[in-house]
Amino acid sequence: MRKSVLLFFLLSLLSLLMIHCNRRAESQLHERLSQMAKELNESTPVMLDSYTRFDEATVTKENLFRYRYTVLNTHNPDSLLSDRLQTLTDNIRIMFSTNDELAIFRENNVVLEYVYNDEQQQTIRTITIKPEDYQ
């Protein structure tokens, strides 16, 4: 009886320790991703081409890394994005799968979200890239 109580106590303690370590790792990841977003935001807003302005990067509490863009200088931003969608998605996947500076995303299975808004800040397209898409 005492052995089973001791075993139960040790297993419970081990479980609590594992949960604590996992939460700490998640917190550290969130801090690193938030710092990366902050550094990106130091140069925003910035025009990337004649139609696309990078507005900000944010991190959700679930560690989803979100990039926000505005599509400008066109009467039909949805059509412009639709024409470029496959190229955009392919470039994102290649960049996150090969760039050593972005290894933190691969190593921690971070979901990426690219939100494109029109000039009135209405969302016209959201591209979600899951870890399995860029691993």
Residue 6 predicted with pLDDT over 80: no
Q: Three-state SS across 48-105?
A: CCCCEEEEEEEECCCCCEEEEEEECCCCCHHHHHHHHHHHHHHHHHHHHHHCHHHHHH
For residues 2-15, average pLDDT: 51
Q: The domain 2-134 is classified under which CATH number: 3.40.50.300, 3.90.1310.10, 3.30.300.250, 3.40.50.880?
A: 3.30.300.250
Domain ranges of the chain: 2-134
User: For 93-118, how does the pLDDT look when each residue is reduced to its tens digit (9 = 90+)?
Assistant: 999 999 999 999 999 999 999 999 99
Residue 60 predicted with pLDDT over 60: yes
